[in-house]
Amino acid sequence: GWQAEIVTEFSLLNEMVDVDPQGILKCVDGRGSDNTQFCGPKMPGGIYAIAHNRGVTTLEGLKQITKEVASKGHVPSVHGDHSSDMLGCGFFKLWVTGRFDDMGYPRPQFDADQGAKAVENAGGVIEMHHGSHAEKVVYINLVENKTLEPDEDDQRFIVDGWAAGKFGLDVPKFLIAAAATVEMLGGPKKAKIVIPSISPAQIAEALQGRGWDAEIVTDASMAGQLVDVRPEGILKCVDGRGSDNTRMGGPKMPGGIYAIAHNRGVTSIEGLKQITKEVASKGHLPSVHGDHSSDMLGCGFFKLWVTGRFDDMGYPRPQFDADQGANAVKDAGGIIEMHHGSHTEKVVYINLLANKTLEPNENDQRFIVDGWAADKFGLDVPKFLIAAAATVEMLGGPKNAKIVVPSITPPQIVSALRGRGWKASIVKASTMSSELKRVDPQGILKCVDGRGSDNTQFGGPKMPGGIYAIAHNRGVTTLEGLKDITREVASKGHVPSVHGDHSSDMLGCGFFKLWLTGRFDDMGYPRPEFDADQGALAVRAAGGVIEMHHGSHEEKVVYINLVSGMTLEPNEHDQRFIVDGWAASKFGLDVVKFLVAAAATVEMLGGPKKAKIVIP
């Protein structure tokens, strides 16, 4: 009676973290906790799941399991909650009260307090949860040595199925018991089973094995080329030629929506119409294409499919021709695009950045394959990518690929900050919908500083020191270079600014003061060749704005916002540092260096070592 779907780890790139030996092996419970070491494996009841599965019912046996878990590189734990003490673990309560009797599990010979003391005495940790259960979904994660972290504001049960295998448990029994636990506790009968996806390195290796040149590149190296996917952009073919369509901001897949039908083995007109409607329901404009020389057979991918060139790969041919397919797509609400000119693509871009794409340029052609879109539509991603590569090969295209990946993922940011002694967690934009604002072109690109200001146009991006962050990251140290950056920021739709404060004039910007006085020297950043007043005058002369802050620093948290085109606004009465990480990519900065410098700035200024990384 559950709703269940399979998703790949690729779809959770922004959330999955490496298991950390400092993280506790904890319960699947999604509520808040007094423990913050959440990057260990998740099992029902923590280590009670191991005892339960093995039929271990004694305190001595529980102690042995505690030591075993520690010996395998995890911090063992069980938990209670603030309302029911150690019986606040629903899994243990079900076990001790006999709710698993009919499944053949003997009850423990100890109560909740005795179990907790035994675990603690053997070197384990006792965790206390708080709040009410509000889980919406159960994640069953099969990606080895990876986990998800709980978020009390957006709760989910997290079951690391791979951990059952690590401890030699009966995996089917483990998963059935986990499902039964959720059911008996009245939890959501909705599951997402997370399976491994193909990694960028594996994609490169597979292509190289086919005789391709393939390299991994980061989004930072693609500054000015990657764009946000727009709902008015068509989901179109990877073809790099010119088109009668100008709405290029949608995802790119071989043959447009034919790629979805091909991957799923859908060969009927009715099935194609259903896919057309599905694509529209997921926020994209469905399309297929022809060209001016071959009409609707001008789509090379479809021509290969309909003529049986994919037969030996196990793909059944469509039961319709090119004209029938196009008419079906149009009838179901899709768009027909017509290409022109000859193929002169020089490279294949395989883009793995979710909700980003590249736009074709008929004068500098490239094939563009949005690999993330395959995952969005539940396709077999390896098959999708192999079919894309085979298409290029059969059409005589370039065997030269660039696999585009994020410079740094949110889990990597969390891990790096924790390594610097910070508390860091990932939060979803959906939990901050009342606070995240669309960036306003009237808003100043301003400092991350959370204090009050004489400027009220807070709807622009936030970077340390305002536009000084760009100069700092690029190693620009001259006034002329600063003026050029000021004009660049304006050309990209933002109001450039730097700031001072009412106590220190233009040296009231802590970031600039650190830079000017050499506090970044050991990080390899050359000092500016101008002082604070000269910098401010240069920015103003080039069309920028000078902002003046007031009051004392009382920031409690650092928000690192990765939601492109969105920002938070400062509140001097509830201060926070706001770092719009996406803006670093927009200006072609080294994102990793940008974030490290932002963290170092907070540390050197005595700010809070607590971060929330906001993801889409």
Binding-site residues for Zn(2+):
237, 289, 299, 447, 499, 509
Q: Which residue has the tokens 């700031």?
A: 499
**Cβ-count burial of 600 within 10 angstroms (0-12 exposed, 13-18 middle, 19+ buried)?**
middle
With CA atoms as reference, report the closest residue to 429 among 238, 297, 562: 562
**Helices in 379-497 by DSSP H: which ranges?**
381-394, 410-419, 468-474, 479-491
Annotated binding site: 237, 289, 299, 447, 499, 509
Distance CA 578, CA 568 (A): 7
543: left (phi over 0), alpha (psi -120 to 50) or beta: left
Tokens at 207, concatenated: 């292509």
Q: SS3 of 215, please?
A: strand
Distance CA 266, CA 272 (A): 7
Distance CA 238, CA 275 (A): 18
Q: Answer for the pair 141, 40: CB distance below 8 angstroms, yes or no.
A: no
Q: Answer for the pair 611, 422: CB distance below 8 angstroms, yes or no.
A: yes
Distance CA 421, CA 264 (A): 47
- Other C-beta atoms closer than 10 Å to the C-beta of 83 total 11
Distance CA 321, CA 306 (A): 7
Q: Answer for the pair 255, 336: CB distance below 8 angstroms, yes or no.
A: no
